[in-house]
Structure 1
Amino acid sequence: MTLTSKGGYGFAGLSAVVLAASMVFFGCSQEQASQSPPSQQPAVEQQAGPATAPQKPVVVSPEDRAKAKEHFMKGIQFDRGGKLDEAINEYEASIKLNPNSPDPISNLGYAYYYKGYIDNAIGAQLTAIKMNPELASAYYGLGLAFEKKGDKKHAITAWQQYISRAEPHTKYWISAQEHLAKLEGRKMKKIDLTKSKKTKKPAAPAKESRSK
């Protein structure tokens, strides 16, 4: 995988990552989903992409791990402030220092999603899932991206995977149920909101309103 002039990764390398990760995700997710409850992009998109998951865990010094966390937290702050380019730079810096953590990669996927780089968003979330198949927030981001892309089949799978991992009756669990019901062409069952629980949000979906 080669770096481009804009600091991203070559599209060919990203495509390989997406293919490999999607084989892992879609190869196992259909069976898991059965057990769980119920445009074209701008050319610049090809000049950016997430770091790949390391084949084996990389030895990261405590100093680099601490620096990676600092960049990650800065990325979150930029993300919340709507400064997506700055957020992407911070997430990429975090990933470079500590490629073993899937969380910055998943957040990078959200940033790509809100920038409109949908294929890269999918690639980032699949990479995060490959690193940690139980990372619920990555499935949420994947559901958003596949839905935006118009890939109904894979969006349904992603939402099912998120729902099966998220705590029931939380804000984003309810949101995922709504997305799934819409894609499946059925009416959303009424949910008792008194059971809703306040939980930590999954990475960046708080900005979902941008896509509506």
Structure 2
Amino acid sequence: MTWWRRLVGGSSERDSKQPDFLAEALDLESRGDYANALTSYRLALRERPDDPRVLQNIAIAFSKTSQPEEAIRTYRRALQIDPDLAGAHYGLAFLLLKRGDTAHAGMHLEGFLRTTRADDPAAAKFRAHAERTLAELSGQEPAADAFDDGDDAHDPRTEG
């Protein structure tokens, strides 16, 4: 089982005749085909309608296809299901910053920091980015990348 499958709750115990829409979506996304990945994610969501990690992946694909309002709505839906979904807090925070909603963005950055382990090496660069951005929002120090659009270097799915 790949780390992506474990991350999104995949299982190897699928009916081999049924298409694996989540795996297909992840494959399409890995090739940069976010528009078609969205279709596959939506089909995966039919199988798992309350899976916050599928919703998080959909939100990321919406962000990558320049649909920020849909991404915001989808991140919020994921957080309604799992309020501790770190990647959703992270992605939502930066979309809200781009929209100028600094108060809510700060709350989600704090949510991200609260839901990730400080000693997790995989989370270190994301935590540092969130901390710099929070500091910039509170006027403590400038953060040149505070309004980052969530490119691959800042993909929140690497977080728990």
Q: Is the 8 A contact 2:84 2:111 kept in 1?
A: no
1:136 aligns with 2:86: yes
Letter in 1 for 2:125: K
Q: Which of 55, 61, 71 lines up with 2:21 in the alignment?
A: 71
How far apart in 2 are the matches of 1:155 and 1:102?
A: 20
* Among candidates 141, 152, 155, match of residue 207 of structure 1: 152
Tell me, yes or no, if structure 1 residue 172 matches structure 2 residue 122. no
Q: Which runs of 5+ in 2 are unaligned?
A: 1-12, 143-149, 156-160
What per-residue deviation string (whole Å, max 9, x for no partner) do you get for residues 43-83 of structure 1? Answer: xxxxxxxxxxxxxxxxxxx758x958x32232223223221
| Superposed displacement of residue 107, structure 1 | 0.9
Once the two structures are TM-superposed, the CA of residue 151 in structure 1 deviates from its matched residue by 1.0
Pick closer, same or farther for the CA change 1:206–1:74 going to 2, 3 Å. Answer: farther
| 2:132 maps to 1:185 | no
- 1:117 and 1:173, CA in 2 relative to 1: closer, same or farther beyond 3 A? same
Contact 1:139 1:162 in 2 (8 A): yes
Based on CA coordinates, which of the two structures has the bigger radius of gyration?
A: 1
**2: distance between equivalents of 1:161 and 1:209?**
16
State the 1:209 CA deviation. Answer: 6.5
Give distance in 2, aligned partners of 1:83 and 1:180: 32
Q: What amino acid is aligned across from residue 110 of structure 1 in structure 2?
A: I
Deviations 1:90-119 (A, max 9, x none): 111110111121111111111111222111
1:171 and 1:67 map into 2 onto residues whose CA distance is 38
- How many residues are paired up? 131
Q: Contact conserved, 1:118 with 1:148, CA < 8 A, in 2?
A: no
Q: Check conservation: 2:55, 2:77, Cα contact below 8 A.
A: yes
2:129 is paired with a residue whose SS is helix
User: Whole-Å Cα distance in 2 between the matches of residues 129 and 173 of structure 1?
Assistant: 19
Offset at residue 206 of structure 1 (A): 5.5
Give me the TM-score of the superposition, normalised by structure 1: 0.55
Greater RCO (Cα-Cα under 8 Å, separation 6 or more): 1
User: What is aligned with 1:111?
Assistant: 61
Where in structure 1 are there 5+ consecutive unaligned residues? 1-61, 189-204
How far apart are the structure 1 equivalents of 2:153 and 2:94? Answer: 8
Whole-angstrom distance in 2 between the partners of 1:99 and 1:67:
17
| One-letter identity of the residue aligned with 1:126 | R
